Amino acid sequence: MKYFNLFACCKLVKGSFRSVIIDLQRGIYEAIPNDLYELINVSRGKSKEELENFYEKENHSVIHEYFNFLIDREYGFWCNSLDEFHRFPDIREEWDLPFPLSNVIIDIGSDSAIDYLNLIDQIINLRIPHLQIRALIDIDFSIIESMVIACERSNVNTVQILIPYPKNEVPILRLKKIVRKNVRINSLIFHSSPYSKVVKVIDKLSYIVFTKKHFTSLDDCGIVSKKYFCPNLNHFVESKNFNTCLNRKISIDAYGEIRNCPSMKTSFGNIKYKSLVEVLNEEGFKSLWKITKDKIDVCKDCEFRYLCTDCRANIKDTSNIYSQPAKCNYNPYICKWKGQKGYITVEKWRKNNTQ
């Protein structure tokens, strides 16, 4: 007796129109029909023979095809007994991290009253592993350099710097030296550059990037695209339990306002008068962290919900915090992206289908 077993690292997610199989170990995903999703669910704990009795004879060849596909792609394997089948449990869908916050974004403007080195001290004390420093205007690079140097011997693991292409010449040699010396810096990005170029500093570890893209406002935030899909275990279990965009994130804008994310309206105070720890302990700061994709309108019907990013700042209906990200151009009810033939918006589709 043979029992089909899906590898625990291959997760099925059912959408309104089709499903997706996510290979969390190999970092890939592919769409499958909902029929196959149902078949795998029905097959759990049933032998091949039992399944064949369960389904009409005319379906048997499709079933064989489906199983061949799953074995071929190494999504699953055959167990020789029910006992063996039950020895393979699911992966626990728990998410946790040994830091109170995982990411911090600091925007630097022209407010000289903000003590950036003190802010770095607070970040080090909170042991936040990932830091992004952004400048919207041409600023003195030595401020950023001193912030990075202050991170030495700390838990800050990676630093990403995003600054505008300077009016004066780019001191590329000096910058390369700074990036090489401070191993935490994994990328230094010049936006609004007249050209695109990637300068490798340490192979696979650090880069200086010149991009023509303008970064003058926060409009770039909240884009939903296949490009940003994350087919990995960490993202999968985090999205099952938390809002991947807001969970354990914090940001300080150019005026010192402390927010969960730079694009959110609510400020929890100003860094000039309030510490990060105080904000972290404030009631309400974590209030949106538990808005999972399963609770969000439209997303909860989408097969990509545990692969996708989210955004709670730009949403379709500002009066409903559970509303769909405004910049999502996918319609899960017809499985089409904007631009694809036959695409209609979710709103239009709903209208058509309620009439």
Partner 1 sequence: MILIVSIDFDQSTYEVANWIKYISNSDLLIINENNHIKELSVTIEPNGESEVKISTSNRAKIDLKAIDSIWMRKGSIIFEDQLNETGISQIDLISKRDISAIIDFIYFLLDSKKVIGELNNAEINKFIVLKEAAIVGLSIPQTLITNRKKYLDKYFKGNYVIAKSISNIQFYTKKFSCNGYTKRIENSIIPEEFIISLTQKEVVKKYELRIFFLNGKFFASAIFSQSNDKTNLDFRNYDQKKPNRIVPYILPKFIEKKLTVLMRKLGLKTGSIDMIVNSNGDYIFLEVNPAGQFGMISKPCNFFLEREIAQNLLSIENGKM
CA 22 from chain centre, in angstroms, equals 15
Stretch that binds partner 1, among 93-101, 106-114, 139-147, 188-196 (CB under 8 A): 93-101
b/e code 330-344 from CB counts within 10 Å (16+ = b): bbbbebbeeeeeebe
User: Segment 7-26, which members bind partner 1 (CB under 8 A)?
Assistant: 7-9, 25-26
CA-to-CA dists, residue 124 to 99, 102, 140, 274, angstroms? 11, 12, 23, 16
Residue whose CB is less far from partner 1, 69 or 255: 69
> Contact between 349 and partner 1 (CB under 8 A)?
no
What is the size of the binding site for partner 1 (CB under 8 A)? 27
Binds partner 1 (CB under 8 A): choice among 17, 69, 99, 116 = 99
- Beta-bridged to residue 14, according to DSSP, are 19
How large is the C-alpha radius of gyration of the chain?
A: 24
CA dihedral 335, 337, 342, 346 (to 10 degrees): 70
Q: How far is the CB of 226 from partner 1 (least distance, A)?
A: 22
Residue whose CB is less far from partner 1, 250 or 315: 250
Binds partner 1 (CB under 8 A): choice among 18, 127, 286, 336 = 127
Cα–Cα distance for residue pair 81/47, rounded to 1 Å = 8
> Contact between 329 and partner 1 (CB under 8 A)?
no
Binds partner 1 (CB under 8 A): choice among 17, 69, 77, 322 = 77
How many helical (H) and strand (E) elements, i.e. helices and strands, does the chain have?
10, 15
Question: Phi/psi at 236 (nearest 5 deg)?
Answer: -60, -50
Q: Directed axis angle between helix 116-125 and helix 141-150, to 10°? A: 30
User: Segment 153-212, which members bind partner 1 (CB under 8 A)?
Assistant: 155
How many Cβ atoms sit within 10 Å of the Cβ of residue 56?
7
Q: How far is the CB of 9 from partner 1 (least distance, A)?
A: 6
Residue whose CB is less far from partner 1, 144 or 237: 237
Stretch that binds partner 1, among 79-87, 165-173, 196-204, 283-291 (CB under 8 A): 79-87
Give the x-and-dash track for 128-157 against partner 1 (CB under 8 A): ---------------------------x--
- Structure tokens of 242? 């938390």
H or E element, residue 312: none
Binds partner 1 (CB under 8 A): choice among 14, 35, 59, 88 = 88
Interface ranges with partner 1 (CB under 8 A): 7-9, 25-26, 74, 77, 80-81, 84, 86-94, 96, 98-100, 127, 155, 233, 237
